[in-house]
Structure 1
């Protein structure tokens, strides 16, 4: 990790403590304790990554102490160091105290450093796999393999070229700018409506950067109150606040060397903004309830659906934090601003959904695709994904039909085009005629040109509807003109 990990060394012999600290202090922050009681006080106030404990101490053995640590502070990686090779001690240490390594005295400095490095690496890998939803205890080798496989798969999945868009889409320019930003260690602020793919772009920036070999972690800042958000991001000690039942390593520390994505940053309170600004300025965090600060090296990519410049002018968002986050601003256009992307995105989503649901659906009928292209998608790509999932469930043919679309999409098709007259001002009569023509045309499409059904829906007689069809030149392709 980029910042120094904390190693707690417990030994009742002062010379042993000094020797261990001398070997470890160049790479780690070393805290020394003369006995188990002093060590417990350290664990109550500090985030500790690894514990190196002597086995034979005056008041309590190392194994007994670490058994208690395993129950109360389960996260630190536990190691025993001893000049005795009692097999019962070794077995008890492994089985009851969850000992990572049993180190025999006299120890060699290089070997000791390797073991402690491995312990700290295991600690961070365990935290990363937990963040990724893999809540299991792993050996260092297995943990490294799981994380490496995960990162490799993510790197392929979130390449810039996998962001679906047409060549003439306004998204093309955004992607090119994202590629440039990925090359440099600069903070990025991504703006855009909900569902436009801000997190997808953030992941592409991370996996296209020199930090791609390290963690990418996500936090939705709008989902938690300040105290819990601080705990999630900066970490906390057990008992630091009501509900803090155990030590927690913050996501900034998990992301050390990598990238943290702060979604909905515009929803944070002014009080939290002050604390976040300090972290960004000083590159250090202080877990809630802890006494020491921790150095971190993290790239921040933030996102919001708010107009943060307007929020700054209104005094709801700190100006200094805004400029710290928005060193490289990017804006994700809404889906209605890029209708040329709808067929491509829809095809990709359909392939994924059909495979996931085990449905043999080949594509979209022309009418369905036209409706989708003309709908404004207020929920953006997320709404499009939900719509296609629904269509696949309802599908009775090998192509998704217009009738498979939800009513809001079918009825929200091509916007009404009013004919401008008299220097751009439309008369009331012109507007009414445009609306009438549009409603009849929509109804004809929905009912496949069946006059009886269209007349029934619009509250017209068949004769009255035929007259309007003639007036608006809408007779072509009718199903029952007789």
Structure 2
């Protein structure tokens, strides 16, 4: 159910102000101001969707006030209400203050509510299309039509059936789980290594859910410091922090009635986790610097390349937040765990790259697909995309040959091929040590630098593994024990 929008009504006549409040109060959250100065206090402390301003007021006129609002708070949809029909004022209002509609007195209650509902719809639709102000000359119906067309195309693009996989692939189980989750309004946590397609799966879940006709927004939680991340997600008022030059509508409010995808949720700080937990528990946000909280109805799909259960046990991730996010966990397998899918994925990527680069490439030499199936793909599908783009750029003919493979694929048919590719005079001891070094490096890569887990997999103690890291100059300080973060320290 949609939360009520906030309408700011400004009129110096108290009886008129009260009449407007009574008519609008059932549908909207109404703020009342007697003059421009009082209205600005509301705009500084609250998120406002629509402004309904009387034209004839002491001091600033309605048009003059809304011109100032347009410069300082450009997001609200601005409307003038007046008992006068001065055409010059109407023209000035539309052109100089970006007025959405000019309402004449006496107004009809039902018609007024309908007009304000249209203004609220315009506000939300423009936010979904990232339009900054009401200056775009599109009617609400036209904006809605454009968005509907785009969402229809998105549903086709992110259909579960378009997720490439072979009949024997473990992705069958993943897609079945995702289909089931999409039918219910439940939080989903997608885990898996970077580049495995977690966002693709999240989009498919959204576009097969009851919220498919609403907005889907994405935020990378590992890319911003806490203050900026809060502003991005929850919104902020002008002046709330250094660099906050204007009001910002947060992504949770933009995604109201839709879905928000929180990528790299495991990278967030404990302080931010507390604030996110409150949002999920109370279904409300409080923009930075705002006086009041706002209700939101948002489905959350989160993703991480970390083991959040281990993070919880280590005290780095809140247990209560984990259970809020992981109501329905889904794990995305790494590309090396679904080698049967590699030829199909490679062909799909090649078709996309050919079209983007305008190259006439017939396909892969069979030997290339064999090489690809034997490579471990630490960067998963994202790494494969980069590799195929490079091959297409370097291709001299109309078919991709083994010679166009990058050295890491040619030398790493398996994790130890490069270790064996040594000078013929190398002793057996040197070759064995090279193999051991390669095995350790590959295992640490597989466990994202976590020494405890890698040591267990290798049959070593943590002390023993650290000794070998030092012996082979593998920079042991760049890896972490289980009680630390379990990721590489840059």
**SS at 1:51 equivalent:** strand
How far apart, in 2, do the equivalents of 1:113 and 1:107 lie?
Answer: 10
Matched, 1:283 2:272: no
Matched, 1:312 2:312: yes
How far apart, in 2, do the equivalents of 1:264 and 1:203 lie?
Answer: 16
Matched, 1:64 2:47: no
Q: Where does structure 2 lack aligned partners over 5 or more consecutive residues?
A: 418-427, 436-490
User: Contact (CA 8 Å) 1:55, 1:63: kept in 2 or not?
Assistant: yes
Q: Give runs of aligned pairs for residues 72-151 of structure 1, distance below 5 A.
A: 72-130=72-130, 138-151=138-151
Partner of 2:444: none
User: Contact (CA 8 Å) 1:284, 1:296: kept in 2 or not?
Assistant: yes
Matched, 1:363 2:363: yes
Matched, 1:215 2:215: yes
Aligned-pair distance for 1:141?
Answer: 3.0
Partner of 2:199: 199
Q: Give runs of aligned pairs for residues 310-349 of structure 1, distance below 5 A.
A: 310-349=310-349
How far apart, in 1, do the equivalents of 2:287 and 2:195 lie?
Answer: 32
Partner of 1:404: 404
Which aligned runs of 4 or more in structure 1 are off by greater than 3 angstroms? 135-139, 414-417
How far apart, in 1, do the equivalents of 2:318 and 2:415 lie?
Answer: 40
Partner of 1:23: 23
Aligned-pair distance for 1:138?
Answer: 4.0
Q: Give runs of aligned pairs for residues 146-161 of structure 1, distance below 5 A.
A: 146-161=146-161
Aligned-pair distance for 1:131?
Answer: 7.7
User: Contact (CA 8 Å) 1:183, 1:210: kept in 2 or not?
Assistant: yes
Residues 1:415 and 1:267: Cα distance change in structure 2 (over 3 Å): closer
How far apart, in 2, do the equivalents of 1:317 and 1:138 lie?
Answer: 45
Matched, 1:6 2:43: no
Partner of 1:42: 42
How far apart, in 2, do the equivalents of 1:129 and 1:47 lie?
Answer: 19
Residues 1:339 and 1:137: Cα distance change in structure 2 (over 3 Å): farther
- TM-score norm. by structure 2 comes to 0.83
Aligned-pair distance for 1:398?
Answer: 1.7
Aligned-pair distance for 1:140?
Answer: 2.0
User: Contact (CA 8 Å) 1:10, 1:52: kept in 2 or not?
Assistant: yes
How far apart, in 2, do the equivalents of 1:267 and 1:218 lie?
Answer: 15
Q: Deviation string for 1:392-447 (max 9, x for gaps)?
A: 11112222111111010111114669xxxxxxxxxx89x97xx9xxxxxxxxxxxx
Partner of 1:387: 387
User: Contact (CA 8 Å) 1:374, 1:415: kept in 2 or not?
Assistant: no
**SS at 1:52 equivalent:** strand
How far apart, in 2, do the equivalents of 1:196 and 1:369 lie?
Answer: 19
Partner of 2:478: none
- TM-score norm. by structure 1 comes to 0.85
Q: Deviation string for 1:317-372 (max 9, x for gaps)?
A: 00000000000000000000000000000000000100111101111101111101
How far apart, in 2, do the equivalents of 1:280 and 1:12 lie?
Answer: 40
User: Contact (CA 8 Å) 1:4, 1:294: kept in 2 or not?
Assistant: no
Aligned length: 420
Residues 1:70 and 1:236: Cα distance change in structure 2 (over 3 Å): same
User: Contact (CA 8 Å) 1:342, 1:372: kept in 2 or not?
Assistant: yes
Q: Where does structure 1 lack aligned partners over 5 or more consecutive residues?
A: 418-427, 436-482
Residues 1:232 and 1:131: Cα distance change in structure 2 (over 3 Å): farther
Partner of 1:182: 182
Aligned-pair distance for 1:58?
Answer: 2.1
Aligned-pair distance for 1:139?
Answer: 3.5
**SS at 1:130 equivalent:** coil
How far apart, in 1, do the equivalents of 2:131 and 2:209 lie?
Answer: 21
Residues 1:172 and 1:237: Cα distance change in structure 2 (over 3 Å): same
**SS at 2:90 equivalent:** helix
Alignment RMSD, CA only?
1.7
How far apart, in 2, do the equivalents of 1:61 and 1:313 lie?
Answer: 61
User: Contact (CA 8 Å) 1:130, 1:136: kept in 2 or not?
Assistant: no
User: Contact (CA 8 Å) 1:131, 1:217: kept in 2 or not?
Assistant: no
Partner of 1:245: 245
**SS at 1:80 equivalent:** strand
How far apart, in 2, do the equivalents of 1:94 and 1:262 lie?
Answer: 39
Partner of 1:466: none
Aligned-pair distance for 1:277?
Answer: 0.4
How far apart, in 2, do the equivalents of 1:26 and 1:410 lie?
Answer: 69
Aligned-pair distance for 1:169?
Answer: 0.7
Partner of 1:477: none
Aligned-pair distance for 1:62?
Answer: 0.6
How far apart, in 1, do the equivalents of 2:415 and 2:226 lie?
Answer: 43
How far apart, in 2, do the equivalents of 1:272 and 1:136 lie?
Answer: 36
User: Contact (CA 8 Å) 1:55, 1:80: kept in 2 or not?
Assistant: yes
User: Contact (CA 8 Å) 1:301, 1:325: kept in 2 or not?
Assistant: yes
